[in-house]
Amino acid sequence: MREIREDAFYDLIDRYDPDSREHAVGEVVYYLLRDDGPCRGQESHREALRSVFGILEAESAEDRDRARELFGDDVADRMVLPVYDTARAQASPLTAGEFFYCPNIIRTDYYGNVRYDADWEPNDENFGTTVPYWYALMEPVHGRRNRPEDFRKVNDALFPKGTDGLEIFEWTTDWSDYFDDGHEWYGSCCWSVYDRSMDRYAVMLVSATD
C-alpha cells in the first residue's frame, strides 16, 4: 500500500494549518493511501494502518538523523522512534451516519466557548478516551476552532463522490505509544475509511494533550 502524496484534499485542508508538515484539521491528522489490489475488508484497513505508522517511523528516523547532525549524539539518542503493533489493534465498524454526525451550535459565549446540541460532551469521564470525529475536528486543544460548515467542507473534499459506499472502522488505540498523549487528557482516536468510488483509503489519527 502506498501513500498518496498530492491530492486536491490536501490543498484544501493545508489552509487550516499552513505551518504544519502534517495534513491536519483541528486535532485530526489525515493520510490518503492506495492499494494495488482489491479491498479485503478489515485486513486491508489494518494494512493501511501499518503503512501509516511505517511513514511515521521513517519521519522520526529522519528527524533523529537531522538532530544528530545539528546537535550531536546526546540529543539524537534521546529521540525515540514510535512503537506500534497493528496486529493488536481491534476494529469496530461504523455507519456513515454515526461517523459523520455533526451537532448544531446552540450558543457561543463571550470567551468563544461553544455549546452544542450533542449528547456527547467533554467531561471527566470522556477525557483520555475516544472523542467523536466532529469534536476532534472542531474543538482542538489550542488554535482555531472550526464550525459545522468547516466539518462539512472538509468531508465533502475528502469524499467528493459521497459517503454511501464507504467502509468505516474505528480502531482501539492501545497498540502504539503515538496515542499516549491523547490517553493523558484530550483523547486518542484512530479511524480508517475505504472509499470504493475513489478506490482509496483515508486513515485519521488523533492524539493530543494540553
Domain holding 21, by residue range, is 2-208
- pLDDT, one tens digit per residue, over 193-207 is 999 999 999 999 999
> What is the SS3 assignment for 6?
coil
Report the domain count for the chain.
1
- CA atoms 9, 15, 21, 25: torsion sign: negative
The C-alpha cell of 148 is what?
459545522
Report angle CA 23, 21, 12 to the nearest 5 degrees: 35
The C-alpha cell of 21 is what?
508538515
Q: How confident is the model at residue 167 (pLDDT cuts 50, 70, 90)?
A: very high
Amino acid at 60: S
- pLDDT, one tens digit per residue, over 71-110 is 888 887 787 888 999 999 999 999 999 999 999 999 888 7
**Element spanning 208, H or E:** strand 200-208
Q: What is the pLDDT of residue 185?
A: 92
- pLDDT, one tens digit per residue, over 114-154 is 889 998 988 888 889 999 999 999 999 987 889 999 999 99
Task: Report which of 124, 129, 123, 105 is spatially closest to residue 115, judged by C-alpha positions.
Answer: 105
Task: Report which of 89, 122, 120 is spatially closest to residue 192, judged by C-alpha positions.
Answer: 89
